[in-house]
Amino acid sequence: MNILVTGGNGQLGSELKHIAFQYPQLNCMFTDVEELDITNQDDIISYVEEHNVGLIINCAAYTAVDKAESDIERARIINATAVKNLIKACELSSAKLIHISTDYVFNGEAFCPLKESDQVIPLGVYGLTKLEGEQYVVSSNEEGIIIRTSWLYSSFGNNFVKTMMRLGVERESLGVIFDQVGTPTYAADLAGAIMSIINSNEKLDKKGKVYHYSNEGVASWYDFALAIFELSGIKCIVNPIEASEYPTPAKRPYYSVLNKKKIKNDFNISIPYWRDSLRSCLYEIEKSN
């Protein structure tokens, strides 16, 4: 099968590229905005037709959560309108779609892990535009699924893990938010899960289109930072602070732990605990330095 991966230079796209060689039966074609801008409908349609694409994995997104608050139109074009382009190309070529979305579609007022059917109320432009993208997929008749994930990090690209590692050696102490709770997700694990889903040969719309995937367990950003320092041997004091002490342009959910029962059951996936995956990522970061 020919697979088009958009946003191929991002965290998730890079992790998919890293493991694609393990699946020689899948011909993965990785593109990013320079080669294939998903906001250009004609280009997307031609690419999918010319390369006989059978599946699109959409990893492309506008992910700058705070910047999106003042760059609404650009965020909407990439996170929502462009998803319509991908769906159109899928319709014309009978291709399937795996679309990636976010825990930021939730408002954070839940108190137990969020199911796919729970009410979505985004707090900011990023979450809102990602939700609009989801809605195009849900209302299309094409075969496809949405995978919502949370707190993504990787040895590729910039993310919370790398920021903490940089600040942890520069400073003696850091204040990190303790009253936002979720689950970190190692993008390598999500990439592996996506490949398992594709290989499972299960239909991609058999039990509803939305799935949740994060690593197992629960953490605050404070717990996450402590674990990063502990596992990488960085001596930096971490002080818990409230989100209100670290104001950002975009509001973020206080609680966005995802319930992953559906994806585990439907696709027979086992998911690693977040601290174990963090250890694996730190090992990869160390290897690349």
Q: Is 191 in the site for ligand NAP (CB under 6 A)?
A: no
Q: Is 6 in the site for ligand NAP (CB under 6 A)?
A: yes
Q: Is 257 in the site for ligand NAP (CB under 6 A)?
A: no
Q: How far is the CB of 48 from ligand NAP (least distance, A)?
A: 14
CB within 8 Å of 170: residues ≥ 6 apart: none
Annotate each residue in 145-174 with x if it binds ligand NAP (CB under 6 A) or - if it does not, as one string.
----xxxx----x-----------------
Length of the chain: 289
Judge whether 243 and 178 are in contact, CB under 8 Å.
no
* Active-site hit among 126, 153, 211, 254: 126
Annotate each residue in 115-144 with x if it binds ligand NAP (CB under 6 A) or - if it does not, as one string.
---------------x--------------
Question: Residue 196, Cβ neighbours under 10 Å: how many?
Answer: 15
Q: Is 61 in the site for ligand NAP (CB under 6 A)?
A: yes
Q: Collapsing DSSP states into helix, strand and coil, what is residue 177?
A: strand
CB within 8 Å of 28: residues ≥ 6 apart: 3, 5, 16, 17, 20
Q: How far is the CB of 56 from ligand NAP (least distance, A)?
A: 12
Q: How far is the CB of 180 from ligand NAP (least distance, A)?
A: 13
Q: How far is the CB of 91 from ligand NAP (least distance, A)?
A: 19
User: Each residue of 247-274: b (16+ CB within 10 Å) or e?
Assistant: eeebbbbbbbbbbbebbbebbebebbeb
Distance CA 44, CA 122 (A): 28
Q: Is 19 in the site for ligand NAP (CB under 6 A)?
A: no
DSSP for residue 62:
-
Single out the segment in contact with ligand NAP by CB under 6 A; choices: 59-67, 84-92, 175-183, 226-234: 59-67
Q: Is 222 a catalytic residue?
A: no
Distance CA 22, CA 195 (A): 10
Chain residues in the site for ligand NAP (CB under 6 A): 6-7, 9-12, 32-33, 37-39, 59-61, 63, 78, 82, 100, 102-103, 130, 149-152, 157
Active-site residue list:
126
